[in-house]
Amino acid sequence: MLEIKELNFSYGKTNILKDISFTANPGEMTVLLGANGSGKTTLLQCINRLNKYEGQVMFEDKELSSFTHEDYRDRMSYLDQNLACDAVLTVFEVVLLGRLTRLGFRVSEEDTSSVENILKLMKIDQFSKRGISELSGGQRQLVFIAQALVKNPELLVMDEPTSALDLNKQFHLLDFLKDETHKNNYTTLLTLHHLDMAAKYADKLVIINDNKVYAEGHPKEVFTTKMLQDVYNVDSEVYIDSHNDVHLIALSSIDKV
């Protein structure tokens, strides 16, 4: 379990995150939502130990700072939002690097079969010999997701994993991630921009607004017209369909120019 307790983070004198507290459970997909600049990426970078924060981030009841660098990196995977890459490496090599903490100078059979499995599972094995810099943004994003998954992490943190994918690929990926999370008992925390996707796939939503946690819970509890007004400044309608899924229709911006 990942537990964030009263986390604060500032850039100089500007507060970016104030008293953030929530939990993400194993076997669940927890989705962070919030408007642009609300601090979602900063929060994920705190969990990834890239930002120094005040407060506590507990994983498996231990504060992050008490993990050794190697142990934490062995147990968690982080997907960066940035997809730029000019390295002269094949897709196979890039995914293999996801097992860096376990790689010996000679690559073991376990390492190569893990890479092959994840490439097949994600249906990108046809790219395995291609150079990473030759791929489109969407293909590259799938490769980096495979890299995050190849070591079978206990904690999976992903910043906008669907940002470069077309609609069909987004459904495929989120179906796959949800399935892997349930099957392998991953504690999965990710940010998404598409609210419909978040409503469909999240086991739990955490909404960040004005640098704080605005709401936390199941999509049906959290998605309200008031939340969409407060957080995104949009008028909307929210309804639940016959499959008991939440949907929203954004109607217009409140703060029209």
Partner 1 sequence: MSSEYASFTRRKTIILIIALLIMAGAFFFNLFTGSSGMTIGEMFSTIFNPGSADVKARAIVWDMRMPISVMGVLVGAALGVAGAVMQTILNNPLASPYTLGVSAGAGVGASLVMVLGGGSLVILGRFLVPAVAFLFSIAACMAIYFISKARKFTPSVMVLAGIGMVFFFQAFQSFLQYMASAETLQNITFWTFGSLQKADWVNIPILGGVFAVVFIIFMANAWKLTAMRLGDNRAKSMGVNVDKIRKQMFVLISILTATAVAFVGTIGFIGIVGPHIARMILGEDQRYFMPMSAVCGAIILSLASGISKILVPGAIFPIGIITSLIGVPFYLILLLRKK
Question: What is the binding site for partner 1 (CB under 8 A)?
Answer: 48-50, 69-70, 73-74, 77-78, 80, 82, 84-85, 87-90, 92-94, 97-98, 100-101, 103, 105, 107-109, 112-113, 115-116, 128-129, 131, 144
Shortest Cβ 127–partner 1 spacing (Å): 13
Residue 129 or 218: which CB sits closer to partner 1? 129
Shortest Cβ 109–partner 1 spacing (Å): 5
CA distance 35 to 233: 9
Residue 78 or 232: which CB sits closer to partner 1? 78
Residue 130 or 182: which CB sits closer to partner 1? 130
Residue 132 or 246: which CB sits closer to partner 1? 132
Residue 140 or 204: which CB sits closer to partner 1? 140
Shortest Cβ 137–partner 1 spacing (Å): 15
Shortest Cβ 203–partner 1 spacing (Å): 24
Shortest Cβ 122–partner 1 spacing (Å): 16
